[in-house]
Structure 1
Amino acid sequence: MHFIRYTGQIKNKIDRHGYFQYKDNIVEVISAPWDRYNNVIMRNVCHAHLSSSLNSKIDIPFKNIWYDCILGKVDKQEKLCLLVNAHLYTLVNENFISFLRAKYKNCYIVLYFSDTYKYFCKNYRGFPSIAFLKSKLDFVLTYNVVDAKQYDLKLMRPAFPNYSSVKDNYDIVESDFFFVGQNKGRLNDLIKIYETCKKRNLVCDFYITGVNPDDFKYPEIIHYNTTLTYEEVLERVKKTKCVVNIVQSNTQGITMRDYEALGNGKMLLTNNYYLESMDFFNPRQVVWIDNLENEIDKMFNNLPKETVDISSYNEEGFYIWLNGIISNK
């Protein structure tokens, strides 16, 4: 099987971006289709043409001129599995699907949600219906147990990225707690966490986007509406003791912040109780937000010597799992 995965993490330079093989399988992981181009002009033109943000406002014609190039070198006789993050949903239009089915006789097309279905419907005008996606694609995957049950989608197997290539950035000050993400109703909880930490002179490195300037509190310390590249996110994870993850209501599943904390051997402050159902859950590495006041004074005094064992949930394991469900289709 030849897997091509578009992660949709446009600003990402290192996470899940590369090429590896296991057994007779090839895996290519690419941030976005336009990253196939080394030429900056071609990359920018392709980006503009295929951009979900632009195409959600106006359906730009003639996207088919990019189809051959963005797939790279795949033999027509190979079994191909294309995985597309829902942020790049404009790729899975009927023309591209027809192109793939005609060119590759053994082709499987998969869309996966890295956020809730409602999030994509809200942020992308004309986002396809679940009925359309399920009728046109081979699989629709989601990390979210709630969406999996509500829309009868396939729940993704957890897969921890390999963070070994994250460099040490000595310009970043070490912190006790790190948060990065959109507001999405989390602001009050994050302010409470900050105030709890401030009383104990603990260092918070918080980046919150999507916040109305009228709601800024402690702007001299908390970074509002400042975006980070994913490379810097991981560098800041590496420089903190504890990653903060506040999951949205009506969601259950393993999120990127969980992967980043546990995959880098950090403490995790969260309300994601779904973690308790996973066999890699280590209660010594996780502190529940509701219990922060009781735990904060001792949570860094007894850091776990052994972090969670995630070896069976590596990326190769994810593709073995995906290959299995394809074989059983």
Structure 2
Amino acid sequence: MASRQQGESWTEEVICPICQDFFTDPVILDCGHNFCRSCITQSWERQKINSCPECRQEFPDRCLRGNRALADLAEKARTLNVNPQEKESKHHCEEHQEELKLFCETDKKLICVICRDSWEHKSHNFMPVKEAVGIYKNRAKSSLDSLREKKSAALEMEQQQKQKISQIQEESTNLQSHITSEFSQMHQMLTEKEQSLLRDLREQEENILKPMEQHLHEIQENLKSIQQKLSKLEKRLEHTDGVIFLKEEISQKRGISDGGYALSPANGALSFGIFNGPLQYRAWKEMLTHITPGPNDEKKNSAPLEICGVTSIL
């Protein structure tokens, strides 16, 4: 067993990363990685760029230096009739040094054929590793679909919340314009009343938007959490090694939670009645005590009173 592992270890050093066979006329790049001369040349011709397929470092010139020592090692491997495909990783039982070919469904554990016959796994349920990988991948894909649906829903709720916030802000802007337009027709004495209403509106807007923006933040945090889980799960599903995938999947202490924040946007509404409508008339009534001549004087001389284009006889 030890000699086989040693053989696999040194033969991995003489395998071209591109063709996955023993090096033929190996060359070394400036970054230190080795390839067959023909393999790297064809790769550069296809990509139209001089870069290392391993580390992606780019080179201004095609400088290929032969690696004689590596060529000798590759020739030695050919002489020994070592199969380059044997470099593919094999996972073995730590106790019996046998290949892990079975999955104990009872213990959720990878085992060898000798483990299967031991007292530890007596009366347990087993299945081939390949079959177990398929089952667990299907489960993972189901969770992946669920996460994608959650992400889609979160994105939709985020958009809806932004639209509602934008609507409140737009309505607030329109009301400010309305207030400014109304008060611009009055005299300087109306400025204080105008500013008072604007402050009230801004305060109400802030009180309405604060919880809505907090809810938006919670939605975005939920979306971020979903995206992180989605990325981790997608990364695990990219494993080509079924055993590694299965080990990682089993090692998860708990599955993907279906819980989360309620994906519904918070609502809010401005008190239109306070800021909309005939502001000039309401302000005019409040200002009667400040008008000269006052209401009593107006009754004496019955002269018409005109304020901001509104004519009245009190």
| TM-score for the superposition, normalised by structure 2 | 0.20
TM superposition score normalised by structure 1: 0.20
Higher helix share: 2
